[in-house]
Amino acid sequence: MKSGSTLEKVIASGKPAVTAELGPPMSADPHEVVEKAHKLKGFCDAANITDCQTAVVRISSIAAAFIAQREGLEPVMQMTC
């Protein structure tokens, strides 16, 4: 099954894929995610949305991934168990 994602297309083409890390903020305010997404957009094929970074409570990775996608940045959401 193909997702049609930018990252999938780059990997399938054989070109090097570039990803960046987008660490969610330590608050529920989405503005910081929006700002980071705008800075990264166009410079990477996808952004890793980290979870439980430094064992500090932050906005959830699923919420941050949704915001990043809404802003045009392809997310790769991480979950920690």
SS (H, E, C) the chain: CCCCCHHHHHHHHCCCCCEEEECCCCCCCCHHHHHHHHHHECCECEEEECCCHHHCCCCCHHHHHHHHHHCCCCEEECCCC
The answer to whether the pTM exceeds 0.75 is yes
On the question of pLDDT at 80 being above 90, the answer is no
Label residue 40 by pLDDT band (50, 70, 90).
very high
Q: How far is CA 58 from CA 9, 31, 33, in A?
A: 31, 13, 11
Q: Is the Cβ–Cβ distance between 6 and 45 less than 8 Å?
A: yes
Average pLDDT, integer, range 15-43: 94
